[in-house]
Amino acid sequence: MKIRMIAFLAITVALAMACAPLLAHHGSSVYESTKLTTFRGTVTEFKFMNPHTQVWFNVTAADGKTEGWTAEAPSLTNMSRLGWNRESFKPGDQVTFVGNVAKSGARIMRLRKVVFPNGKETVMDRGEDYAE
């Protein structure tokens, strides 16, 4: 009986240790965390999904050329709590996006705030935003 209990505990501990990496999540170090950038853009696509909700949009650069950007928001669950749903954006919507752009120069941003066409705002605070 004692050997069974020890074996059970050993298997339980081994499984818990094997699953620990599943709880890990990437950080925000790839983004310019000390500076917020604002874009007024035209939505081209919206995916209300996990692990991150994403909005694709076009902006007109200073040289007049159109640039495609991606805004990464928190998970579907978190965004649902803020009132978002699959119909929150439609292609052609004129939206203001505020967030942290990628340090690499890639056209992706970590979304912090959105101003919808009707003037409603959504602010996304994440726990890791306050860890610094």
- The 10s digit of each residue's pLDDT in 29-81 is 788 888 999 999 999 999 999 889 999 999 998 899 999 999 999 988 999 99
For residue 16, report the phi and psi dihedrals to the nearest 5 degrees: -60, -40
Q: Is residue 64 part of a domain?
A: yes
- Within 8 A by CB and 6+ apart from 34, the residues are none
b/e burial code for range 38-72 (CB count within 10 A of at least 16 → b): ebebebbebebeeebbebbbeeeeeeeeeeebbbb
- The 10s digit of each residue's pLDDT in 19-28 is 545 444 556 6
Q: Is residue 18 part of a domain?
A: no
Domain extent, residue 65, equals 30-124
Distance CA 96, CA 112 (A): 11
Which CATH number fits the domain that encloses residue 107?
A: 2.40.50.140
